[in-house]
Amino acid sequence: MTDRQSLFAVLVVVYLTECLLWVRRGGVVFRRGISGWTVQVEGELARNDRGDLHWAWPLPPFGGLAVSYGIPFSLGPKGFLNASGAAFHPSGRSLQTAAFLAWEEVRKVETEGRALKVNGAGFWRSDSPLESLRLGKLIQELRKADPSKRGDAIREVIRKSFDLGMIRSRIQALESALGPVRQLSMAVAALVFVATPLAVTLSGWFPTLYIVVPLLFVMTGLLARLAGKAHRALQPEAEDERFRLLMTLFLSPAAAIRAMDPLQRTLLEEFHPAALGCVLLEGEARRRFLSQVWRDLRFPRLPECPLELKEAVETERLHREVTIGFLEEAARSVGIDPSYFGRAPQSSDPSHVRYCPRCESQFTASASVCRECGGRALIDLPSSAQK
C-alpha cells in the first residue's frame, strides 16, 4: 500500500468512527435506510452492562437516525426513583445505583454536562447534556407542584411522552431544517472522498492541497453556521451543546459530513420508544415492537423494583401502570387492538405446554419459571382444542 493509499485509508477509518453511536442501555435506536425505518434495541457492534454501540447509515444521503429514552425515572405522587421496571433489552436493565427521593427531600437540582445532581450528589448520568437539562427541569417542576395535584401532573408528563402529533411535527420541522445541511454535508463528502483523491492522482499533493484546504475550511464553516441555525431552531435551550457542535463541525471534516446525526439524535429522545414505534414503524414491525414493549411493562423482569423500600416499589408500579394505559391508547390511534399484545403464542413443539408472558419463550411441563426474566412465573399455553 502506498503512502497515498494509507492516508486515505486512515481518513476512511476516521470517518467511520463518526458513524458509531453509543447508547446507554434502555435507549432504543430507530434507523432509516433504503427499505424504511427499523428499530434496534441492542447494539450490533458491541455492548456492556451500561450500553450498546450502534452504527449510523454511512453512505449518502446518510438516512435517518433517532434515539428514544422516554422517561428513565419512575415518577409517583410521593417521590421519584432513578430506575424503571422497563427492561426490554435482551440482556436486562443497565448497571445502575438505584435511589429514591421524596419530593419534599429535594432541595437543589443542578446539571454539569451530562451529570444530573440532586442535593449536591450525583443522581443520574445522561447520554447528552440536553437530556440532563430536561430531566432537571422536570424534577424542579414536579417538586414545586401542589401535592394534591402532583399525580395529575405526572400523568400529563407521561402523556406528553406519547404525543404522536408532536413527534410528527418535530420530524417535519427537522426535515425542513436539515435540507441545506444535508446538501452541504454531501458536498463536503464529495470533496473529501471523490474530488481530492482524483485531483491528487492527476496533479499531485501540493497543487491539490493549496486549493482543497481553504475550500474545505470555507465549506465546513458554512456548514457549521447552517447546522447551528438549525440546532437553535430545534433546541433553543441547548446553548453549550450548540457551541461544542459548531467547533467540532468547523474543525473536523469527518464530523461535518455527519452534521445531521447530532441534530437528529436528541430531537426525539424525550418520547417513549413505543410512541416512536407508532410513528416510524409500519405493518407487522410496528405490531411486534409495540407488543414487546407492552409485555415488558405488563410482566417486567423480576425484581420489578431495585429497592425494597415500600414507597419506591409503589412508585415504580404506578408509573408502569400509567405508561401501559397511554401505550394502549397510542396503539388504538394507529389501528392496533391492544388485546393483540396479551395473546398467547402458538406452540412451537408438542412438548411445549407453558410460556413466559414477558419474553414468550416456551417450556415443557417440568418448568415453572423463566430464569431469563428473573424467575417470572409461566403461563399455560392454550390447548389444541381451545385453539
**φ, ψ for residue 142, nearest 5 deg:** -70, -35
State the pLDDT at residue 92. 81
pLDDT tens digits in sequence order for the chain, 387 residues long: 676 777 788 888 888 898 899 998 889 999 987 778 999 988 888 888 889 999 888 887 777 889 999 999 999 999 999 998 888 888 888 777 889 999 999 999 999 888 999 999 989 988 888 889 999 999 999 999 999 999 999 999 999 999 999 999 999 988 888 888 888 999 999 998 888 888 888 888 778 878 888 998 899 999 999 998 888 888 888 787 888 888 998 888 889 999 888 888 888 999 999 999 999 999 999 999 999 999 999 999 999 998 999 999 999 999 999 999 999 999 999 999 999 998 999 888 889 999 999 999 999 999 999 999 999 999 999 873 344
* Helix 273-280, helix 310-333: angle, nearest 10: 10
pTM: 0.90
Domain ranges of the chain: 3-68+164-265, 69-163+274-343, 344-387
At a CB cut-off of 8 Å and minimum separation 6, what does 67 contact?
21, 23, 27, 28, 29, 30, 127, 265, 266, 268, 269
Q: Are 326 and 157 in contact (CB under 8 A)?
A: no
Which residue, among 266, 285, 267, has the nearest Cα to 334 in the 3D structure? 285
